[in-house]
Amino acid sequence: MVAEQYLPPWFSVAPMMEWTNNHFRTLARLISKHAWLYTEMIAAETIIYQSGDLDRFLAFTPEQHPIVLQIGGSNLENLAKATQLARPYGYDEINFNCGCPSPKVAGRGCFGASLMLDADFVAKAMSVIAANSDVPVSVKCRIGVDNHDTYSELCDFIYKVSTESPTRHFVIHSRKAFLKGLSPADNRKIPPLKYEFYYALLRDFPDLRFTINGGINSVDEVNAARNEGAHGVMVGRAAYYIPWETLGHVDTAIYGAPRRYLTRRQVLEQYQKYGDSVLGKYGKNKPNVRDVVKPILGLFHAAPRNGLWKRNADAAFQRCVTLKSFFEETLEIIPDWVLDKPLEEYSSNCIVEAFANSKNLLPPPYAKEEKEYSEQDRMYD
């Protein structure tokens, strides 16, 4: 499989630790045929040290294409080995994590957002990953880290990585990261969004491809960002917490595909087959019913009796050992019309001005020529 076989990544689901696993991706693909899916971040060391059990971390069904593997690490040799081990699984792109602000990752100076402070290493890492893979590579990063948050510093990072490695795609989370003092959750909402940095990158690096990420929670916002020129848009928690309303409109409203008249009941029937086939696959009740049900807990968001269904689901976890028995015990709470009603046809119901307004705040153009000149000078020092 190669990425060219699929529609462009106009909409992608963000990599989210412990969330965008095989279970969620299976659900997401049942709802949307065209959204690009990312794995949760997998550390290079995990891939290497679990080489005897790689399917548990890297295997996915063919239906999940197009799918991107996100990898994390700070050791070039390990990144090379991990990429080699992942290669037979046939991912459509390999993404390198330079944006995670978690203290477990960036706070220790290991990898994640802290790598934005070392563009030389990231360029080497991307060259190593590309050399050991046969698919495109990309970087997911923030717009800055701590006090290194100017537009010029962001451009320096992009310039270095793109000119010294095969990287041509960057996913830009439009907030900076604080490596200390803020939790990962706070890092997703406290640093201000600066979409103007993203749109300035489109202006200053016309030969590269950029996906915008951060604070985007609806199809309306995705379309608004794209209408202002975004190459692609990445959505995170809205796709997980509200999968029916968010992912359900991606194919028609973003990709222009015909309406499928899909129902929640049809999705759950297919998901049940998947879930019961993987229960206990990795021994010691891993995964269990709770693990496999977790991604569907948002499927009835805002629907009648959703709260009661969730309460009953929590009790059913104590008794049910198959998804079939779990659904038999809990789904009778949800009205039939909710289960059998196709998603309503998409219609835009709000005006989004954030991206248009951001284009009025663009920073001055990046002095790329000056950068190239100074680097040439250093070569002859």
Catalytic residue among 98, 100, 141, 320: 100
Nearest in space to 243 (alpha carbons), one of 300, 312, 289, 323 = 300
The DSSP bridge pattern shows strands 42-43 and 67-72 to be parallel
Phi, psi of 142 (to 5 degrees): -90, 180
In the numeric block, which tokens belong to residue 343? 């998603």
5 annotated to bind ligand: no
Alpha helices per DSSP H over 205-263: 219-227, 237-241, 243-247
16 annotated to bind ligand: yes
Dist. CA 114–CA 105, nearest whole Å: 8
236 annotated to bind ligand: yes
234 annotated to bind ligand: no
Q: Residue 62: CB partners within 8 Å, gap ≥ 6?
A: 1
Q: Residue 197: CB partners within 8 Å, gap ≥ 6?
A: 143, 151, 154, 172, 174, 363
95 annotated to bind ligand: no
17 annotated to bind ligand: yes
Q: Residue 50: CB partners within 8 Å, gap ≥ 6?
A: 56, 57
**% helix / strand / coil in the chain, to the nearest 5?**
50, 10, 40
Alpha helices per DSSP H over 134-174: 151-163
Residues constituting the chain? 381
Which DSSP helix (H) or strand (E) runs through 42? Answer: strand 42-43
Q: Does residue 100 have an active-site annotation?
A: yes
In the numeric block, which tokens belong to residue 331? 């789904």
Catalytic positions, please? 100
Numbered residues of the known binding site for FMN:
15-17, 70, 140, 173, 213-215, 236-237
Q: Which residues are annotated as a binding site?
A: 15-17, 70, 140, 173, 213-215, 236-237
